[in-house]
Amino acid sequence: MNFLPWVSLFFSTLLASAVATTPSQTTARRDSSTFVSTSGSDFVVNGSAFKYIGTNAYWLPTLNTNEDIWNSLANISALGIKVVRLWAFNDVDTIPVNGTWFQLVRNSTVSVNTGSNGLQKLDTVIQMAEQQGLYVILSLTNNWYPLPLLNSTVPPINSTAFDVTPGTNNTLPRNYLSNNYGGMDLYVRQFGLETHDQFYTNESILTSFMNYTTQVVSRYVNSPSIFSYELANDARCNSTLPASASCTTETITTWHATVASHIRSIDPNHLISSGVGGYMCTNCPKLYPLTPAPAPVTSPLPGKKKRTVAPVTKEQILRERSERRRRNREAAKRAGTLVEDGVRVRGRWVSTATKRQTTPSLGSMYDGSYGVDSQDISNIPDIGFSSFQLFPDQQSYGTDDPNLTPSQNVEQDGTQWITYQAQSATAVGKPAVLTGFGLVTQSNAPSFVPFNSTVAPFASDNSSSNATYGVTNQQQADTYTTWLNTGIAAGLNGIVQYQWGQSNLTAAPGTTVSPPTTTGEQSTPSSPGQSSTPSTTTGESPNDGYSTTGSSTVQQVLGSAAQAIAAD
Ligand SMILES: *[C@@H]1O[C@H](CO)[C@@H](O)[C@H](O)[C@H]1NC(C)=O
Ligand SMILES: *[C@@H]1O[C@H](CO)[C@@H](O)[C@H](O)[C@H]1NC(C)=O
Ligand SMILES: *[C@@H]1O[C@H](CO)[C@@H](O)[C@H](O)[C@H]1NC(C)=O
Ligand SMILES: *[C@@H]1O[C@H](CO)[C@@H](O)[C@H](O)[C@H]1NC(C)=O
Ligand SMILES: *[C@@H]1O[C@H](CO)[C@@H](O)[C@H](O)[C@H]1NC(C)=O
Ligand SMILES: *[C@@H]1O[C@H](CO)[C@@H](O)[C@H](O)[C@H]1NC(C)=O
Ligand SMILES: *[C@@H]1O[C@H](CO)[C@@H](O)[C@H](O)[C@H]1NC(C)=O
Ligand SMILES: *[C@@H]1O[C@H](CO)[C@@H](O)[C@H](O)[C@H]1NC(C)=O
Ligand SMILES: *[C@@H]1O[C@H](CO)[C@@H](O)[C@H](O)[C@H]1NC(C)=O
Ligand SMILES: *[C@@H]1O[C@H](CO)[C@@H](O)[C@H](O)[C@H]1NC(C)=O
Ligand SMILES: *[C@@H]1O[C@H](CO)[C@@H](O)[C@H](O)[C@H]1NC(C)=O
Ligand SMILES: CC(=O)N[C@H]1CO[C@H](CO)[C@@H](O)[C@@H]1O
């Protein structure tokens, strides 16, 4: 079988069309009905309601060959997944020797790379996604860009390489971690400023960021495969750089409204979303109040009832929290396992034990501590849908119930979070998407890097010691199943798992998929039938703690959910 020449011809054709043309080349067979729109709480495609399971693959534009991009998207699509969320930004302060980069941000000036290792890589991903019937959520910047540890003795250790755990020689290439693509703190530093929230308020940065969004968005105005432009991943007042005292929820809401309106002025066709973590502020003043409060939610699609849903309130959260505790206490009493008082210290897989609250308080997820009021952001007219995330390894989503095990607490808090988010979206009358969720397993724990870190906290020099952090594979699959079922039942319109894992990717020095630095255990010998092809080294896609590589169970769970949500 001489398969390869056909493949290369096929891919050079794809490449030529992806690279050489503006998206208008294929507009002939498109019309506005192929763009995703919304009607009340539904997404609408081709006149029908559209619900989906998605996955995250921030690294797709950094892959070394078009075949790798194609194969990754094909594997994703084969599961029934319909939407891929990825980074449409890749900011550097020094132009790298090898690898993809999109924008140089240095000394208060910016310049965009539209070359073949720049935005043309994004063009290729989007073109191939279209050919495979996938939509993409394009995230335009990141809250998180921590600096690497600079005291390592391991060379190279500069902006192109990271020592994951000091002293272990465990280096990661640029763009391997999701928080290593530039973003807000890179702008702040390179514009000579000091606080994270100056990204949202400084006029020069705002101009530069809008300039970047113009250049990205104007490339895809006619592309049917853009699901949405996501303004930022996880925008907050704080990051690695601190927040100024003046940063409030209004700062972040105003920024979303400004940038969304700018994008809308360039692109009338596509949805715009926020990408926030979903933090609420039940008692904050609103820039976009519900009018009338609460808004009646109507859907013209058949079979849907008119509903009126109130926003999530402090009283509701406190009441439901104490009802859950009472139920759990009664169940424990019946089982003879009651923990009368005191606090069950969570396992090592959750970093801090929370004290039992004596005065009822909502906790940071609901009181605006992060500078995010997701309801107010969702209600901005140019924001098409409500979005949120769920990462219990990075964030506590509730107060621990001593009558539940750590994994039960995580599952219950996540379920409650999903339910509140669905309610909040319905109250503003828009669809809701969980844009990222994940649990770190014991096998992934050595790779787990929290978003405000470049260091994996659970990597061990001594790999013979057994994992003491993370859920088991079975707990992960069970909890994912619970959350997916909860989300589908609660009416979420999209649920996007974090993160896709892809193997058999072409490795190249100085790129995200680099050849192994240790004795080449990952190298693939060339097979006998392909002796004319030079032997290539292959690698796996980045894993910052959540990759599905090697977990067919999670893939099955996602595949089943894709069928269930499509039938919903
Ligand atoms: C919408 O219709 C187009 C053209 O018929 C088709 O290619 C596409 O798959 C449809 N999209 C969905 C989500 O059904
Ligand atoms: C690995 O990738 C190469 C290049 O894309 C492809 O030719 C080959 O079939 C792939 N192998 C497997 C096992 O997927
Ligand atoms: C930064 O830009 C300013 C003004 O354009 C210039 O004077 C200065 O030399 C630049 N600094 C560096 C380190 O390039
Ligand atoms: C906008 O981007 C272009 C292209 O990279 C660059 O030349 C220009 O300086 C940028 N303008 C602003 C105001 O940042
Ligand atoms: C490097 O920095 C880390 C984190 O700040 C610290 O724990 C470690 O002791 C430092 N190592 C050296 C050799 O200075
Ligand atoms: C980073 O380290 C590599 C390898 O040592 C080196 O080639 C490169 O010039 C360094 N980059 C910077 C910005 O110092
Ligand atoms: C890290 O690499 C350096 C240089 O190759 C070597 O001297 C050192 O022993 C290594 N450290 C560890 C912990 O392997
Ligand atoms: C992120 O990490 C930096 C450096 O370790 C720290 O100063 C900062 O407070 C952290 N920010 C948040 C929001 O946790
Ligand atoms: C920033 O983070 C700190 C510590 O995590 C928190 O106390 C503070 O409230 C946050 N400030 C803002 C404005 O988000
Ligand atoms: C680690 O786990 C393996 C398999 O579960 C077991 O065989 C081994 O004894 C354990 N090692 C230690 C040091 O606990
Ligand atoms: C860049 O790529 C070339 C070709 O693969 C390689 O020889 C070189 O070492 C790479 N340079 C860096 C700094 O990664
Ligand atoms: C992870 C995964 O599903 N990989 C598959 C991707 O597709 C290739 C063939 O196209 C399969 O060989 C892989 O197993």
CA of 104 to the centre of ligand 3 (A): 15
CA of 238 to the centre of ligand 8 (A): 8
For residue 237, the ligand 9 atom closest to its alpha carbon is 14
Q: How far apart are CA 222 and CA 105, in angstroms?
A: 28
Q: What letter would DSSP give residue 524?
A: P
Tokens representing 247 are 């940063």
- Ligand that comes closest to the CA of residue 160: 6
Ligand 5, pocket residues at CB < 6 Å: 149, 151, 166
Whether residue 96 lies inside any domain: the answer is yes
Identity (one letter) of the amino acid at 525?
P
For residue 236, the ligand 9 atom closest to its alpha carbon is 14
Burial class of residue 316 in the structure, from the number of CB atoms within 10 Å of its CB (0-12 exposed, 13-18 middle, 19+ buried):
middle
CA of 545 to the centre of ligand 10 (A): 21
Q: In the predicted model, is pLDDT for residue 114 greater than 60?
A: yes
CA of 462 to the centre of ligand 5 (A): 18
Element containing residue 207 per DSSP (H, E): helix 203-217
pLDDT band at 297 (very low <50, low <70, confident <90, very high): low
Ligand 11, pocket residues at CB < 6 Å: 97-98, 508-510
CA of 247 to the centre of ligand 8 (A): 16
Whether residue 186 lies inside any domain: the answer is yes
Tokens representing 417 are 């979070």
Q: How far apart are CA 368 and CA 359, in angstroms?
A: 18
For residue 364, the ligand 9 atom closest to its alpha carbon is 9
Ligand 7, pocket residues at CB < 6 Å: 154, 167-169
Q: What CATH number is attached to the domain comprising 491? A: 3.20.20.80
- Cα separations in angstroms, 229 against 21, 220, 268, 547, 565: 21, 10, 12, 24, 23
Binding site membership of 156 for ligand 6 (Cβ less than 6 Å): yes
pLDDT of residue 163: 66
Whether residue 7 lies inside any domain: the answer is no
- 233: closest CA among 188, 274, 281, 177? 274
Ligand 2, pocket residues at CB < 6 Å: 67, 71, 504
pTM summary value? 0.85
pLDDT of residue 516: 72
Protein residue with least CA distance to atom 4, ligand 9 = 238
- Cα separations in angstroms, 227 against 138, 223, 509: 8, 10, 33
Whether residue 38 lies inside any domain: the answer is no
98: three-class secondary structure by DSSP: coil
| Contacts (Cβ under 8 Å, ≥6 apart) of 422 | 432, 487, 490, 491, 492
Q: Which domain holds residue 137?
A: 45-282+368-519+534-567
- 442: closest CA among 462, 472, 463? 472
pLDDT of residue 396: 92
Ordered alpha helix ranges (H), 30-116:
66-78
514 versus 134: which is more confidently predicted?
134
- Give the residue-averaged pLDDT of 346-350: 36
Whether residue 352 lies inside any domain: the answer is no
- 416: closest CA among 489, 346, 486? 486
Report for 220-224, 296-300, 450-454: range of highest mean pLDDT: 220-224
Render pLDDT for 328-339 as a digit per residue (tens, 0 to 9). Answer: 999 999 998 888
CA of 466 to the centre of ligand 10 (A): 6
Render pLDDT for 305-323 as a digit per residue (tens, 0 to 9). Answer: 455 689 999 999 999 999 9
Tokens representing 282 are 């039940």
Whether residue 445 lies inside any domain: the answer is yes
Whether residue 176 lies inside any domain: the answer is yes
Q: How far apart are CA 268 and CA 277, in angstroms?
A: 26
pLDDT of residue 525: 37
Domain count across the chain? 1
| Contacts (Cβ under 8 Å, ≥6 apart) of 311 | 282, 290, 293, 294, 375, 423, 424, 427, 428
pLDDT of residue 149: 63
Render pLDDT for 440-494 as a digit per residue (tens, 0 to 9). Answer: 999 899 899 999 988 888 876 555 555 578 999 999 999 999 999 999 999 999 9
Render pLDDT for 155-185 as a digit per residue (tens, 0 to 9). Answer: 444 455 666 666 655 678 899 999 999 999 9
Whether residue 276 lies inside any domain: the answer is yes
Tokens representing 341 are 């008082």
